Amino acid sequence: MESSGGRVKEDPGQRNQMEREMNKRIGLVVLAALCAVAFSAVAASGAGAAINPYTAYTCVSDPLGTFENAHCNPNAPSDGGHYKHVAIPAGETTQLTVQQIGSNTVLKTKIGLATVTLEATGGVECVGCHFKNVEGGSVEAKGGHLRYTGVHISVPSCKVTGEEVNTEPLEVNVTEMEGTDPSGTYIASVSPVTPGTEAVIHLENNGATCTLGSSITVTGHATGKATGSTAKFATGEGELLVGTQKAELIGELTLKGGLTPTPENPNPVHNPIGLTTGA
């Protein structure tokens, strides 16, 4: 830049560079935010003191059960059945799987006045994800990563390589619960096992040079809420950002747990899971 007549002339090259750097940040929030979906309802050890000791359970059908939906969600409508909690023994490793509910997972953010979206049309898979109850009242869920498929970005010049995004290994910490219902809503923070990079999103040109570059590094953490086995998105102020703009995450998942598949039992039954401070 140079000054002339008391006014500062703007260097077009510098302005374009700043715009490119801002655009690259579009994807920083994408994976971090999406991660909240599948991990919201389980927690790493070392949860905050804001909640009582808690354990993970499976929700199974039982004619004498007191819950009226397959998610053991006290806030969800009845599906005409009866269900109950079944405790998972402490120390027993359980595989975590996820299933998308309703519409595709979508993330929305703004760059300047433009709205940018990234949508996972193929769903989400929890790869190598396991958890276990810990004696004393907590749940350990550390390692494993999320894989999103059919991922499309609204920036016309870019496409996601292979339409697939994988996170780094993740861990979750339950921070608090809302209200006093032992099977109510729990709030958890999701972050990389190794602090720093949460995911790298690889991009390709789409008929023109991709304005976001060839890859985007995701940092930060995300927060999610879970009631029963139903996980919803909830990103707090400043947790996931695009530049100085936060992103909006829209979507919902069911979390399930069961035995890890083996050659002898390739399709074990997985039941909905959740957290409780009660029975």
What are the extents of the domains in the chain? 32-276
| pLDDT (0 to 100) of residue 48 | 35
Query: In what helix (H) or strand (E) does residue 174 lie, and over which residues does it extend?
Result: strand 170-178
Q: How confident is the model at residue 237 (pLDDT cuts 50, 70, 90)?
A: low
Asked whether the predicted pLDDT for residue 275 surpasses 80, the reply is yes
Which residue is associated with the tokens 């350990």? Answer: 140
The tokens for 171 are 């861990």
Q: How confident is the model at residue 171 (pLDDT cuts 50, 70, 90)?
A: confident
Query: In what helix (H) or strand (E) does residue 14 lie, and over which residues does it extend?
Result: helix 12-24
Task: Record the pTM.
Answer: 0.75
| pLDDT (0 to 100) of residue 245 | 65
Residue, of 244 and 74, whose pLDDT is higher: 74
pLDDT tens figures, 251-270: 788 889 988 888 999 888 89
The tokens for 45 are 């050890």
Smallest CA-to-CA distance from 165 within 197, 200, 191, 116 is with: 200
Residue, of 142 and 121, whose pLDDT is higher: 121
Question: How many CA atoms lie within 13 Å of 233's alpha carbon, on the beta-carbon side?
Answer: 25
pLDDT tens figures, 50-59: 467 888 999 9
Gap between the Cα atoms of 235 and 244, Å rounded: 14
Name every residue whose Cβ is closer than 8 Å to that of residue 204 and which is 6 or more positions away in sequence: 158, 159, 160, 161, 210, 214
pLDDT tens figures, 129-170: 998 999 888 888 877 898 889 999 999 998 999 999 888 898
243, 22 contact by CB (below 8 A):
yes
Gap between the Cα atoms of 48 and 13, Å rounded: 48
The tokens for 109 are 């953010």
Asked whether the predicted pLDDT for residue 234 surpasses 80, the reply is no
Gap between the Cα atoms of 10 and 193, Å rounded: 43
Q: Which of 28-32, 195-199, 231-235, 263-267 has the lowest mean pLDDT?
A: 28-32
Question: How many CA atoms lie within 13 Å of 89's alpha carbon, on the beta-carbon side?
Answer: 4
41, 174 contact by CB (below 8 A):
no
Mean of pLDDT over the chain = 76
Asked whether the predicted pLDDT for residue 42 surpasses 60, the reply is no
Please tell me whether residue 257 adopts helix, strand or coil conformation. strand
Question: How many CA atoms lie within 13 Å of 236's alpha carbon, on the beta-carbon side?
Answer: 11
Asked whether the predicted pLDDT for residue 49 surpasses 60, the reply is no
Residue, of 20 and 242, whose pLDDT is higher: 242
Quick one: average pLDDT of 107-124? 77
| pLDDT (0 to 100) of residue 161 | 95
Q: Which of 5-19, 77-91, 122-136, 223-237 has the lowest mean pLDDT?
A: 5-19
CB atoms within 10 A of CB 44: 24
